[in-house]
Structure 1
Amino acid sequence: MAKYLLLKHYRGAPEAVNCEPMDQWTPEEISAHVKYMQDFAARLEETGEFVDAQALAPEGTFVRYDGEGRPPVTDGPFAETKDLIAGWMVIDVDSYERAVELAGELSAAPGAGGKPIHEWLELRPFLRHEPAVTE
Structure 2
Amino acid sequence: MAKYLLLKHYRGAPAPANCDAPMDQWTPEEISAHVQYMQDFAAKLETTGEFVDAQALAPEGTFVRYDGEGRPPVTDGPFAETKDLIAGWMVIDVDTYERAVELAGELSAAPGPGGEPIHEWLELRPFLAMPSTVTE
TM-score by length of 1: 0.91
Indicate the RMSD between aligned Cα atoms, in angstroms: 1.4
Given that 1:8 and 1:88 are in contact with CA atoms closer than 8 Å, whether structure 2 keeps it comes out as: yes
Instruction: Please name the residue that 2:118 is paired with.
Output: 117
Distance 2:23 2:120 in 1: 12
Residue 99 (str. 1) matches residue 100 (str. 2): yes
Instruction: Please name the residue that 1:16 is paired with.
Output: 15
Distance 1:21 1:76 in 2: 18
Q: Give how far 1:51 is off.
A: 0.2
Q: Give how far 1:12 is off.
A: 7.3
Given that 2:12 and 2:121 are in contact with CA atoms closer than 8 Å, whether structure 1 keeps it comes out as: no
Residue segments in structure 1 that go unaligned for 5+ positions in a row: 131-135
Given that 2:12 and 2:120 are in contact with CA atoms closer than 8 Å, whether structure 1 keeps it comes out as: no
**Residues 1-135 of structure 1 correspond to what in structure 2 (within 5 A)?**
1-11=1-11, 16-17=15-16, 18-19=18-19, 20-129=21-130
Letter in 2 for 1:90: V
Given that 2:108 and 2:120 are in contact with CA atoms closer than 8 Å, whether structure 1 keeps it comes out as: yes
SS at 2:87 equivalent: strand
| Cα separation, partners in 2 of 1:12 and 1:44, compared to 1, 3 Å | closer
Letter in 2 for 1:121: L
**Identity rate, percent:** 91
| Alignment size in residue pairs | 129
Instruction: Please name the residue that 1:133 is paired with.
Output: none
Residue segments in structure 2 that go unaligned for 5+ positions in a row: 132-136
Distance 2:25 2:102 in 1: 29
